[in-house]
Every structure is written in structure tokens, then in C-alpha cells.
Amino acid sequence: MPWRMGVGDYLAALAGGASEPLRGRPAAAPWDDRLAAEMRTADRAVMEERLIPALLDDLAGGTRTRGY
């Protein structure tokens, strides 16, 4: 399962302003049925690099919750 790549993570990143316009062909997200639909609706992409603080917090045993 992808790490920090669920619809909750995506929506939280959008709310934080960490996105850019979608480019290219839409891709499926078989690990999260809602993710691809939300991305098409918002027409925004969140780059993995924007999630580095949350990923590092996870690795350190932090208390942030995953969005999926």
C-alpha cells in the first residue's frame, strides 16, 4: 500500500496549499478508490516531496495520523 498517498493525505495537502496543476493523462489509484476522482475534481497534483515532513514524522514515531 502506498504510504501517505490516500485521499485524506491528498485533501490535507490541498488544504495546505501544497499543489500544482495536473499534467498528462489521469492515472488510476487502485489502493484508494476516491483518490483519482478527487484529483480529477480538483485538477491539482501534490508532489511527494511536499509530504517529506509528514513522512519523517511517521518514521520518527510521531503522532500525525495517516489520511487513509
pLDDT at 68 over 70: no
18: left (phi over 0), alpha (psi -120 to 50) or beta: beta
Would 48 be classed as within a structural domain?
Answer: yes
pLDDT at 55 over 50: yes
Angstrom distance (rounded) from CA 30 to CA 18: 23
Would 64 be classed as within a structural domain?
Answer: no
% the chain with pLDDT above 90? 37
pTM: 0.74
Average pLDDT value for the chain: 84
What range defines the domain where residue 31 resides? 7-59
Domains: count for the chain = 1
pLDDT on residue 63: 59
